[in-house]
Structure formats: C-alpha cells, structure tokens
C-alpha cells in the first residue's frame, strides 16, 4: 500500500507538472500572437456639438483596410451600434448611404437614423457629411496613413450634434462611447480579416 500510494502521489505530481507546462506553452503562444491594436479616443464639446477623434495603429495591407472600411452593406455585422447600413446610390467615388443604429450610455439611449453622402479617395480617405436624419450635424472622415515601420495609422475624426438638446456632459459621454465601440469594432474586423489573409497566404506557400 505505501508503494502504491507513493506511485499515485508521483503520478499526480507529474500530471500537475505536465498541465503547468502545457499552460505555459499556451501562454507563450498567446503572447507571441499579434496583439490587438490599441484604440485611443478623444472627445471635446464644441458649440453644442462634440468633436471626436479616434486612432489606432494596425498591421494589415492597406487594400484590406480599404475593403473593410467600404463594406457598407455589411457594417451591421461587425460595427456595434449599427443596425442596418445600405448603399442607396453610387456615382464613381460619390455614394449615398442610409444607416440606422443607436448610441447609448448607462440608461440613456439615443436612436440614430441618417442618410449621408460619402466621398471616397481610394486607400487614402473617406469623407462623410449629413444629408438628412435625426442629427443636426455630422461631418467626419476616415484617414489611412502608412507608417515607416510597415504599419498603418487609421484615424476617424468627426463633428457630431444630436437634434435633441442635451447637457454637454451627456452628449460628450454618449458620443464618445458610441464612436469608441464602433471604431474598435472596425479595427477588430480589419485584424480578423488580416489574420485570415495571412493564414491563407501561409498555406499557399
């Protein structure tokens, strides 16, 4: 019995060491994988509106970044707060896009229904301006800038004003949260597509 007990204790110890080793391998693998891009968002009140700037540095081909930004008809699948998005018309680089969604903060909920004009400058920028909807102002743009280290800085900057008067601190908090979530959702989708692209590229070699 003492020998069997000792063997049992030894086996348990070895199993524990093996599990710890496997856990360590998993931790190392996760650490070596590409880390999610860090998103920074700044929001300031300005004349009843809110100026919002969101930035992130991503590692993905610029063509793939552009493809994701302009996937208007599928934005609701990966951008939080957008319930529907569709291209109403397109004439070259000029588009009319209709979107429905919402912005929220704590118990405050603000539905958003807008039609915007979008001007594309392929692989460089997308400018957006409000045509109609329940916002008083919406002027924004995406900027894509290649960096010397091979990464790309993605920036969204916009001036937004709801058509319902609200205290500045509520408007700022609601829009900052909304843009943060939407921008982070866009960046996450870019990274997801970049990982798929990289995996397929590796398999083809």
Q: Are residues 194 and 153 in the same domain?
A: yes
Radius of gyration in angstroms for the set of CA atoms belonging to the chain, rounded to a whole number:
23
Residues 13 and 43 in one domain: no
**79-105 in b/e burial notation, b at 16+ Cβ within 10 A?**
bbbbeebeeeeeeeeebebbbebebeb
Same domain? For 16 and 78 the reply is: no
Q: How sure is the predictor about 35, in pLDDT bands with cuts at 50, 70 and 90?
A: low
In this prediction, residue 92 has a pLDDT band, given cuts at 50, 70 and 90, of very high
- Spatial CB neighbours of 10, under 8 Å, sequence gap ≥ 6: none
Q: Are residues 107 and 164 in the same domain?
A: yes
Q: Do 43 and 120 have their domain in common? A: yes
Confirm whether 172 is domain-assigned: yes
pLDDT mean over 167-192: 89
Task: Please determine, for residue 33, whether its predicted confidence score (pLDDT) is greater than 50.
Answer: no
Confidence band, pLDDT 50/70/90 cuts, at residue 103: confident
The CATH code of the domain that includes 120 is 3.30.530.20
Higher-confidence residue: 163 or 204? 163
Maximum C-alpha span of the chain: 85
pLDDT band at 200 (very low <50, low <70, confident <90, very high): confident
Q: What is the mean pLDDT of residues 83-96?
A: 97
Specify if 110 maps to a domain.
Answer: yes
Do residues 97 and 135 both lie within one domain?
yes
Domain of 98? Answer: 37-200
Same domain flag for 26 and 112: no
123 and 173 part of one domain:
yes
pLDDT digits (tens, 9 = 90+) for 167-176: 777 778 888 8
Looking at the fold, whether 107 and 121 belong to one and the same domain comes out as: yes
Give the residue from 37, 87, 78, 44 showing the smallest Cα distance to 191. Answer: 37
Residue 148 located in a structural domain: yes
Residue 125 lies in a domain: yes
User: What does the pLDDT look like over 61-74, one tens digit per residue?
Assistant: 999 999 999 999 99
Residue 205: inside a domain, yes or no? Answer: no
What mean pLDDT is predicted for residues 70-92?
97
Express as a percent the part of the chain with pLDDT over 70: 79
Secondary structure element (H or E) that encloses residue 28, with its range: helix 2-32
Same domain, yes or no: 81 and 145: yes
Mean of per-residue pLDDT scores for the chain: 83
Same domain as 8, residue 75: no
Number of domains in the chain: 2
Can you give the pTM of this predicted structure? 0.78
pLDDT value of residue 109: 79
Q: Are residues 118 and 137 in the same domain?
A: yes
């Amino acid at each position: 019995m003492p020998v069997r007990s000792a063997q049992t204790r030894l086996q348990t110890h070895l199993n524990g060491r093996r599990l710890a080793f496997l856990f360590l391998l998993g931790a190392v693998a996760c650490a070596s994988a590409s880390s999610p891009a860090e998103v920074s968002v700044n929001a300031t009140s300005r004349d009843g509106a809110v100026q919002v700037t969101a930035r992130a540095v991503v590692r993905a081909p610029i063509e793939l970044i552009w493809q994701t930004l302009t996937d208007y008809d599928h934005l609701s699948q990966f951008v939080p707060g957008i319930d529907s998005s569709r291209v109403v018309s397109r004439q070259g680089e000029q588009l009319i896009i209709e979107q429905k969604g919402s912005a929220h903060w704590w118990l405050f909920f603000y539905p958003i229904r807008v039609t915007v004009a979008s001007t594309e400058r392929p692989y460089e920028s997308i400018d957006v301006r409000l045509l109609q909807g329940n916002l008083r102002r919406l002027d924004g743009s995406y900027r894509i800038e290649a960096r010397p280290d091979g990464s790309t800085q993605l920036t969204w900057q916009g001036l937004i004003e709801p058509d319902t008067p609200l205290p500045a601190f509520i408007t700022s908090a609601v829009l900052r949260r909304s843009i943060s979530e939407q921008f982070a959702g866009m960046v996450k989708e870019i990274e997801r597509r970049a990982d798929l692209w990289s995996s397929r590229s590796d398999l083809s070699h």
